[in-house]
Structure 1
Amino acid sequence: MTDFFKGHGLGNDYIALELETLGLELTPLAVRLICDRHNGVGSDGILARVPSAAADFGVRIFNPDGSEAEKSGNGLRIFAAYLLEQGDVDVRRPFTVETLGGIVRMEIQNQSDDGVLAVEVEMGTATFRSADVGLPGPDRETDNEPLELDSGDVVHINTVSVGNPHCVVFQDELDVESLRRRAPQISTHPSFARGVNVQFAVPVEPDTLDAWVWERGAGETRASGSSACAVAAAAVRRGMVSERQVTVRMPGGSLHVHVRDDWSLVLSGPVESVYSAYLSDGMRRRLEMLG
């Protein structure tokens, strides 16, 4: 019996499974063990299929630290690949998925000869209100607002919610060592009540940005779909790019975001399946013992 499916979008990998038939409770400790790259299957998170009364399918998205995410652009595209593998969706036939961050409309646009899928996700509407990311003080639209870090550094933030919270910092260049030092301080900053996903971004063309991502509950990530949406929306809003069809280049590759006039966002990019497998009896027992 197949327990799970594994796929990746630009190196950001997720496990997808059917929660009702797994026979195990996905406690935070269980999630951490399954996602562990040395002692478990290894992944950037888990996509647990659940029933939905509001959409065609439902999914719960778990970060590798055991916490739960509202939405994930790469995760949703991988979930589409899982549903295709299960025979539950077809290429070029739209369907809907309910997440904690809202219902999204999706479509697998095509499949290459080597099995790479091009998947489009309507990610919802970007908002720039401070309250939507849990930032204290009067509700406002943040616009390069200063934030002091524990180290004494000051970064200028642009907050975006696409159903989950993001903090975009525009830079002149991406100095990775500096980003690795500052990103976790921003992600866990006490000003963000629920924590926040962090993106450092550099505009390079009228329709292109380079970005580096630190995800809440996961850390440094090769690519992130919701982060690409946040970067594109913030860049359009601040006039950092002049086009609304935006390419966001990350270490794992590029994603494309259409920022519509009403600030609704359409994300598109590739997804690859990796394998389907089952958990051994020993692994199941270890997971059950975690309680």
Structure 2
Amino acid sequence: MPQTIPFTKGHGTGNDFVLIADPDGALDLSDDHVAILCDRHFGIGADGILRVVRSTALPEGAATPDAEWFMDYRNADGSAAEMCGNGIRVFLRYLLDTQLAALADGETILIGTRNGALPMTRSELGFEVDLGAFRVESSETLVRARGLPVQRPGLGVDVGNPHVVVALPTDLELDGLDLTVVPHLQPEPPDGANVEFVVPADPLVRGGVGSIRMRVFERGVGETLSCGTGVAAAALAVREWAGPAAPDRWSVDVPGGTLGVRVAPVGGIPHVLLSGPATLVYSGEVTLA
């Protein structure tokens, strides 16, 4: 039987989402439901779905007890993902604007994800999320993409979800990529990976802040205007390549805007933090068959 549900459309630097409030966890969104809602011709159009659900309403083992609200993030093809750096800021904006939560300056709120409960604060760019500890892989992955004259080595970076970062020498090569075609990774990661292509600024560091430009192919979605965790992974990869003198603060330009990344110790362990804006665009109702 068709069901009509309210929704809100939002984005973080052009990475757009459909938000659906389901505080009691009563809504069963199939992969097909998600795919049609995200379809830009036959649905609302988005890079993914953010289901707003109370952690206590989740099945045993999936809940994040320290966080009242859980971000159930699904890619545009319906597949579940561990985290979304842009999505979590839009998720928090929705909680605040609908008065489901409150966050004063200087306070911290925990948001539940499949990568655990992540702390968020307000920042100069909008909101900042602590993505937690990260891992830079020791081995390289060869990457082929349409528009690249030769395959390039990519560095694996895990920030709660998997990424492969490829350095390119010029903006011309970055702009010439055709990311309507899925990049080929060798070896292919077991769960796939987002692929980031980056060009470092010249000079790389100004005023203690590193700068790079990036495009991204997101698994389960395609090219997006921005990818928050991809921005963090790209900054971490360039920081690794730059060596011990590399800065801990980064500015990353993506087609949808600019995001900030910083590395800071938390409990003696380096964490990566992502900051940027979040915007709610409009609300409406949609009928699910």
When normalised by structure 1's length, the TM-score is 0.82
Alpha-carbon distance in 1 for matches of 2:175, 2:38 = 25
| Alpha-carbon offset, residue 6 of structure 1 | 1.4
Is 1:274 equivalent to 2:281 in the alignment?
yes
- Contact kept in structure 2, 1:46 and 1:64, CA below 8 Å: yes
Shift of 1:278: 1.6
Question: How far is the alpha carbon of 1:56 from its aligned partner?
Answer: 2.5
1:190 Cα deviation from its structure 2 partner: 5.7
Displacement of 1:101: 1.8
The answer on 1:199 being equivalent to 2:196 is: yes
Q: How far off its partner does 1:108 sit?
A: 3.2
In the alignment, structure 1 residue 126 sits paired with structure 2 residue 126? no
Q: 1:227-242 residue pairs with structure 2 within 5 A?
A: 227-239=230-242, 242=246
Distance 1:20 1:55, change over 3 A: closer
Equivalent position to 2:99, from 87, 104, 107: 87
The CA deviation at 1:160 is: 0.4
What amino acid is the match of 2:253? R
Give the % identical residues. Answer: 34
Aligned-residue Cα RMSD (Å) equals 2.5
Matches of residues 215-226 of structure 1 in structure 2 within 5 Å? 215-226=218-229
CA contact (8 A) 1:186 1:198 kept: no
Report the CA distance between 1:90 and its aligned residue: 2.4
Between stretches 233-242 and 154-163, larger displacement belongs to: 233-242
Code of the residue aligned with 2:73 in structure 1: it is I
Distance 1:149 1:228, change over 3 A: closer
Q: Which is richer in helix?
A: 1
Matches within 5 A, 1:62-81: 62-81=74-93
Contact 1:233–1:263 (Cα < 8 Å) also in 2: no
TM-score of the pair, normalised by structure 2: 0.82
Structure 2 letter corresponding to 1:122: D
Do the aligned residues in 2 keep the contact of 1:2 with 1:276 (CA within 8 Å)? no
Q: Find the counterpart in structure 2 of residue 96 from structure 1.
A: 110
Measure the CA separation in 2 of the matches of 1:14 and 1:182. Answer: 20
Report the CA distance shift for 1:21/1:40 in structure 2 as closer, same or farther (over 3 A). farther
Structure 1 unaligned blocks of 5 or more: 111-116, 130-140, 287-291
Q: Which amino acid aligns with 1:200?
A: F
> What do residues 55-84 of structure 1 show as CA deviations (whole Å, max 9, x unaligned)?
231111111111111101100000011101
Map of 1:209 onto structure 2:
212
Q: How many residues align?
A: 262
What's the CA shift for 1:153?
4.1
- Read off the aligned partner of 1:154 and give its amino acid letter: Q
Contact 2:179 2:223 in 1 (8 A): no
**How much does 1:181 deviate?**
5.4
- 2:26, 2:133 → 1: CA distance? 36
Check 1:249–1:44 CA distance in 2 against 1; reply closer, same or farther (3 A cut): same
Q: How does 1:43-54 map to 2 (within 5 A)?
A: 43-52=46-55, 53-54=65-66
